[in-house]
Amino acid sequence: MKVLVTGGAGYIGSHAVRELLDSGHQVVVLDNLSKGHEEAIDKRAAFVLASTEDVDLIVNKIKLHGIEAVMHFAADIEVGESVTDPFKYYQNNFSNAVSLLEALNICGVKKFVFSSTAAVYGNPERTPILESDLRNPINPYGRSKMMVEMALEDACKAYGMGYTILRYFNVAGASPDATIGEDHQPESHLIPKILMAAREGTAVKIFGTDYPTSDGTCVRDYVHVMDLARAHVLALENLSPGKGEVFNLGSESGFSVREVISACERVTGRKITVEEGPRRAGDPATLVASSKKIREQLGWERKYPDMETIVAHAWNWHTSHPEGYVKETEKSHFILTEMASEEYRMAETYRYFGE
């Protein structure tokens, strides 16, 4: 299939692009590099430097490349920032997603895989969370994602758009060969933060040690990024126009903060300094989603379910790329800022790899 991957220069998108290409699909990446990295884009994919808001450009690219389906990862992902700057999230995550859907609709593309989040559940009433459980997001990030889910439900009814929504919490790890991995600025995810503390000898904070869990710390879902990428490809290959599906991608039992820290100590061989503090407001004790539905319906199996493998792959990535993709980001920035005219920008920024 010819697939447009938005956000394909980002953490999860770049791994999904690799999995798509390895599965025999053709890929066009669309990314504005606001957070992504050119270096992360697989050389076998075509790359369009543009934003999801640009309906005319996307219509052109869909026609030019004969795009048959879209995987949509492009979004802003910082929950805290979404609280202080909610319009940024409603604009980029929701409004721009509608623009993208509009372009698809103009071109008659009716297959859409949406990278959603378990944040749409808010503080769930039970765990493991099922797909049918109430959506009740507690921050603008979660709400912006829920609104896209709703737009998809309506687009399915009105225009016959086929969609699969994938909801997940914490994605972690890196490609096993350590060529692509996680490079977020700022980094708010637990595993890279612990590994950074291991490298730099700084302390990791634990917020709350008196939760009703096995060791008193919060329990969360962690899924290896390659397992997540595989789920996206499976979702795409099982999509039909006019039908909508929702799947959770979770680790079923989850891992406590202390368990994650212990795994990091075993993998790195370093003692990690811990600072214990009080609970943070709004942090539920356990957030774990059931993946029974996608396992039963699509045969999804996690290849890397254990925390040590997830951490080992992340550690290999971080130690082999101590500054992440930083050099390439600077290079891209240079290219963008040096472009004199719009015409030149349009000509130069559509770089095609492997076509």
Instruction: Tell me which residues are annotated as active site.
Output: 141
The minimum distance between CB 268 and ligand NAD, in angstroms, equals 21
Residue 254 touches ligand NAD, criterion: CB under 6 A: no
Interacting positions 77-116 with ligand NAD (CB under 6 A): 77, 92, 96, 115
| Residue 290 near residue 157, CB atoms below 8 Å | no
Q: Please state the closest distance from residue 51 (CB atom) to ligand NAD, in A.
A: 4
Task: Give the x-and-dash track for 219-248 against ligand NAD (CB under 6 A).
Answer: ------------------------------
Question: Is 213 within 8 Å of 350 (Cβ atoms)?
Answer: no
3-state SS class at 298: helix
* Closest to ligand NAD by CB, 26 or 332: 332
Distance separating alpha carbons of residues 81 and 99, to the nearest angstrom: 23
Axis crossing angle, helix 96-107 with helix 140-159, rounded to the nearest 10: 20
Mask for 141-170, x = binds ligand NAD (CB under 6 A): ---------------------------xxx
When the beta carbons of 149 and 259 are compared against ligand NAD, the nearer one is: 149
Q: In 3D, which of 61, 5, 31 has the Cα closest to residue 328?
A: 31
Query: With binding defined as CB under 6 A, does residue 35 bind ligand NAD?
Result: yes
β partners of residue 341: none
Extract the tokens encoding 149.
Answer: 């889910």
33 binds ligand NAD (CB under 6 A): yes
Among residues 34, 188, 202, 253, the one that binds ligand NAD under rule CB under 6 A: 34
Site map for ligand NAD, 45-84, x if CB under 6 A? ------xxx-------------------xxx-x-------
Residue 221 to residue 206: CA distance in whole angstroms:
17
Q: CB 260: neighbour CB atoms within 10 A?
A: 23
| Cβ within 8 Å of residue 235, ≥6 positions away | 113, 164, 166, 245, 247, 294, 298
CA distance 59 to 348: 19
Choose among 95, 189, 93: nearest CA to 141. Answer: 93
Q: How far is the CB of 224 from ligand NAD (least distance, A)?
A: 11
Q: How far is the CB of 269 from ligand NAD (least distance, A)?
A: 26
Quick note: the x/- pattern for ligand NAD over 172-211, rule CB under 6 A, is: ------------x----x----------------------
Bond prior to 128 in cis (omega within 30° of 0): yes
Site string for ligand NAD, 114-133 (x = CB under 6 A): -x-x----------------
User: Encoding tokens for residue 228?
Assistant: 């997540």
CB of residue 140 to ligand NAD, shortest distance in Å: 12
CA distances from 1 to 22, 69, 121, 233 (A): 12, 7, 32, 11
Q: How far is the CB of 103 from ligand NAD (least distance, A)?
A: 12
| Contact residues for ligand NAD, defined by CB under 6 A | 6-7, 9-13, 30-36, 51-53, 73-75, 77, 92, 96, 115, 117, 168-171, 184, 189
